[in-house]
Amino acid sequence: IADDKKAVPLAVFNNLLDAALDPPQANMEVPFTAGSGSPAHAWVKFLSRPLVCPEVPGFTAEKRMEFRLMAPGTMVANVDFLESVFGNAGEASLPENDAALDAEHWSGHTGCLIMAPHLLTLKKKDLGLPHWDQATERQRRDSMAWKDPEERYNNGGAFKICCLTKRGVFVTLLADNYFGYCKKDVKTQLSFACNLFGTEEEHAGGALACASISWGKEFREDY
């Protein structure tokens, strides 16, 4: 784990994952049904296959990673936003959309993003973080220890936590509802897949470069 990142014990991540998959009933309400007599409650999910390596005729077929987003019903707008950016690869349960059955075009990397803003209410002690007196120096530095039993994880602020493997499997829990944060994490996972696969992702900012000449600000007769 990079020194500029917070190192989270695996058992604490497991507890966060359990909590992320058990959101409050109010968060599960599907907005379209909110005005009905019996509103629906559900997870909203979609599968995407971002491009990792373009096709090079005569050398390699295009390679794509697989990515799954899961969000409580109230966050359906986040799902719609990411779908508009990265595309929808179809129903994940159908064989024709199973990346593992399409080895020629699968890069071998699998990502998952779970939206869970309710994690902001969890307490460090309840998640299994140690007391300050039993914590290591890095845990103290990373705020991965508590002095007051009521201390919230990450001081109650928005955060994301990632679990990565060298095989190219990554799971991110996002305790926020910001659209840009969702997109940024998918791009992070895509960059990770590119690095493992051996391709180089282009980070184009949309700048247009044109030749130009500066004639200066002042003009005078030259004798």
Q: Write down the pLDDT at residue 102.
A: 92
Nearest CA among 152, 141, 207 for reference residue 175: 152
What percentage of the chain has pLDDT greater than the value 70? 96
Chain segment 88-110, per-residue pLDDT in tens: 999 989 999 999 999 999 999 99
Six token digits for residue 199 = 């391709």
Residue whose pair of structure tokens reads 């994952």 in the numeric block? 17
Chain segment 131-174, per-residue pLDDT in tens: 999 999 999 999 999 999 999 999 999 999 999 888 889 999 99
**Band of the pLDDT at 178, cuts 50, 70, 90?**
confident
Q: Which residues contact 108 (CB under 8 A, 6 or more apart)?
A: 65, 167, 168, 196, 197
Rounded-to-integer distance, Cα 168 and Cα 111, Å: 8
Q: Write down the pLDDT at residue 204.
A: 55
